A and B are shown apart, each in its own frame.
Chain A
């Protein structure tokens, strides 16, 4: 059952991810990205990380992508125009992609040689309590540094926006 759901949502995630690139209208691309986020959340849920899954939905699908769609609507971005591809991309594009994928698979196999399937319910460290405990004990420094980084980014954005206003 879990392998069926894994394959289903992995397939949906892949299709949506390819669709992000293929769609010509920015809104369609953004909504495909929402699809990717949603299927990723289901994959987290299948792993037993229900808190992460919901956080993924709230933060990525619910907040960040809404902002993307909002900005696209505000700027009224139109359909992108297709230009002819360069001969370099036409010839080497697909082979280079296949080579890259092969390399990725090779390294993934090298790093995790005895990787198997995760059964649904095997992993129980995905609740809010465990995540909070890990964040505020083992990963306290990275967590705080990330918060400060985000704070700097917010302040920077406000400073830039104010300059535009003056």
Chain B
């Protein structure tokens, strides 16, 4: 009973945070790309366009869903559900912090607790394989959408997507295997725990720095392949507008169209979570607590708040005088949260984990704003003739050195 209640609470919390993240990732992406291209980005709905995701959701829900006449109805309707389902389910096994203990408390005459729970929905001992299995099933949603639409552009998009995902899954899995060798476990929590500690007291033992062979190459291969797995620029051939109109989702409208976008962003978040767990040490801090890494989070929130306050006092636009001080108060509040000692051991791991995931998401968006799209034969040649051999050699060297030094 206790387990069920705690799991239900965690489920609701994770679902809320995840869904909000997905909605606001769109806003962040548009804003970042706009600033890279020296534009304003969304700025009309709410202060700094912050209510834009809400407006988008309302627009998409109230739009008319058009069913084209010559589609294969069953598969046409099932495809977006499949894509979203496969994209959302992986988050259930991502650990995002250490354990949380709620001390015993009294309501009326009954005493509850103490409760201890790990910060994840499920600790699966083959967690990383589960992520791989689910991500490889995600192809079906896109492939079926392309095929069932009965449209040549959609079919080409679906075909490109499945070919690309099959090809890039190989370097992705090989790049994954190398840090698994040094961690010696398949559980995501175990992998993150294996990266705790520091060399010489200040270099973190994250997989990208860890001996006997630092996994920096497999990290780069993983990130490149995950661009292709999530159909992002520069590998977004399945939805190349100038060749395929829109790719596999050309016949979709309203919520079914939104479903594909949601799946893309959810896949992005999952891939970034896996990358930070496998290569960047999950919730392990960048430098030891003894050197003051616990002060990093309040400091960064304090600086952000101070910046907002400064720009609020010297506003560039008239409404900044009201909105920026509000943001400043929010940031100061977040900084103040870290002043309570009992909260720190719970919040710091979450902060580090979210910081790493956020950084990787920013890299995804940054690259989208920077790089042009690949040509299709370049994309395939790159996967098979460069990434695959490099990943294989990296795995061989890692395996050899791990066997030698353990």
Contacts and interface: CB of A to CB of B under 8 A. Distances in A.
A58 B159 contact: no
A55 B129 contact: yes
Contacts of A70: 143, 159, 162-163, 166
A54 interface: yes
Interface string A58-72: 100111001101100
* Interface class of chain B by DSSP: helix
Interface string A7-44: 00000000000000000000100010010000000000
A61 B137 contact: yes
Nearest to A73: B147
Contact of B143 (A54, A55, A69, A128): A69
Interface in A69-110: 69-70, 73-74
Given A27-B147, A63-B169, A69 B133 contact: no
A127 interface: yes
Nearest to B124: A50
A6 interface: no
B133 A57 contact: yes
Interface residues of A, number: 20
B114 to A, nearest CB: 28
Nearest to A70: B162
B125 interface: yes
Given A50-B125, A66-B166, A74 B136 contact: no
Contacts of A50: 124-126
A66 B140 contact: yes
A58 B133 contact: yes
Contacts of A62: 132-133, 136-137, 139, 169
Given A66-B166, A70-B166, A128-B186, A34 B140 contact: yes
Contacts of B209: none
B282 interface: no
Contacts of B165: 66
A51 B129 contact: yes
Contact of B132 (A31, A58, A74, A128): A58
Given A50-B126, A54-B126, A66 B155 contact: no
Contact of A57 (B137, B143, B162): B137
Interface in B146-176: 146-147, 155, 158-159, 162-163, 165-166, 169
Interface of B: 75, 124-126, 129-130, 132-133, 136-137, 139-140, 143-144, 146-147, 155, 158-159, 162-163, 165-166, 169, 186
Closest 8 CB pairs of A and B: A62-B136, A57-B133, A54-B129, A70-B162, A58-B133, A50-B126, A73-B147, A54-B126
